[in-house]
Amino acid sequence: MSRLFRDVEGEAVSPRGSVVCIGAFDGLHLGHRALIGRALARAREKGLDATLLSFEPLPREYFGRNDPPARLLWPRRKIELLRDAGLDIIGLLRFNAHLAALSPEDFVQRVLCDRLCAKEVWIGQDFRFGHRRAGDASLLERLGDELGFAVSVLSPVEIDEQRISSSRIRERLGAGDLDTAAELLGRPYAMSGRVIRGQQLGRELGYPTANLSLHGRASALGGIFVVRVHGVDGKPWPGVASLGTRPTVNGKETLLEAHLFDFDGDLYGRLIEVEFVAKLRDEEKFDDLPSLVEQMDRDAAEARRILGIALPGDKSSPSHSPTSETASTTH
């Protein structure tokens, strides 16, 4: 079981020594996994703790609170994926005024040396650290020579001669290119969270939905999507989802609303993950609710076609018939 720590100050969490990889790791894409993999391999070779060090909120979120970058991965899911990777220690340092004010030298001494007893540190080419991002790979290497740890810089990972980066994945998601985003991530793009209670409008319109709040975070994508929902009954459940502010009903908060096909029960409070399969269209405002429902009917039919699921009453095409007595859509 991985150990999680959040604070700069405190006793050593790795007294025997650690191999540390550092970064934002937003999305945990294939480039991030390569860095983590190197640190894991070296830690196992040397009999040390495999340690990942990141920040929450991300520094770009902290400094850009009025216009934060879109997050690719929420903290809960990030921790789950990191634990699955086999890391011994996960550090998600609380990024606040105190941490932001630390000089590069203080950051290295307090965190890498005092807390993690680092023997090796692995970083990407663009890594910066310390107050005003004053620290870079060269400074880290010099400090490592003085304090007793080695520094390795991993070259960027590329696909088709293009660098894998969180920024590129955000751009592809914003363009509705889910296939390329999934290729760069190494898995389909998904959002997870606990189902919350909504306004019950979806049920009134014939499309009850399981709703997830983004908690004010910016989203890298928006619109109407074909989805598969995980965490319902052990298998992915097909559906259609809206991610946006629901302009037709004057919505204010960005919500992810997933309608699960041929489904009934209770999902309130359930932790689910919504996997994005394909984008159908952008969100739009309709003149009235009947016009909205007509478009929802078309969206649902197209999503069923893409997923290979029969329309209700249509026995001529494959159908999806998962069963669950406890799962249901909400609204």
Residue 216 gets the label, from left (phi > 0), alpha (psi -120 to 50) or beta, of left
Residues 6+ apart with CB under 8 A from 105: 130, 143
* 139-153 per-position pLDDT tens digit: 999 999 999 999 999
Residues in the chain, overall count: 331
The per-residue pLDDT of the chain, averaged, comes to 91
On whether the CB atoms of residues 243 and 299 are closer than 8 A, the answer is: no
d(CA 168, CA 220): 11
Nearest CA-CA partner of 51 in 62, 43, 60, 63: 43
Q: Which residues contact 292 (CB under 8 A, 6 or more apart)?
A: 205, 248, 286
Which residues are CB-contacts of 303 (< 8 A; sequence separation ≥ 6)?
226, 227, 238, 239, 240, 261, 280
**pTM, rounded to two decimals:** 0.90
pLDDT tens digits along 223-237: 999 999 999 988 999
C-alpha to C-alpha distance for 225 and 221, rounded to whole angstroms: 10
Residue 59 CB partners (closer than 8 Å, separation 6+): 24, 95, 100
318 cis-preceded (ω within 30 degrees of 0): no
Token reading at 196:
């919350």
User: What pLDDT digit, counting tens, does each position of 9-23 carry?
Assistant: 999 999 999 999 999
- Summarize pLDDT for 284-315 with one digit per residue, the tens: 999 889 999 999 999 999 999 999 997 776 65
Separation between Cα atoms, residue 51 and residue 91, nearest integer Å: 8
Which domains occur in the chain, in start order? 3-159 (3.40.50.620), 189-307 (2.40.30.30)
Minimal CA–CA distance to 56: which of 107, 108, 18, 4? 4
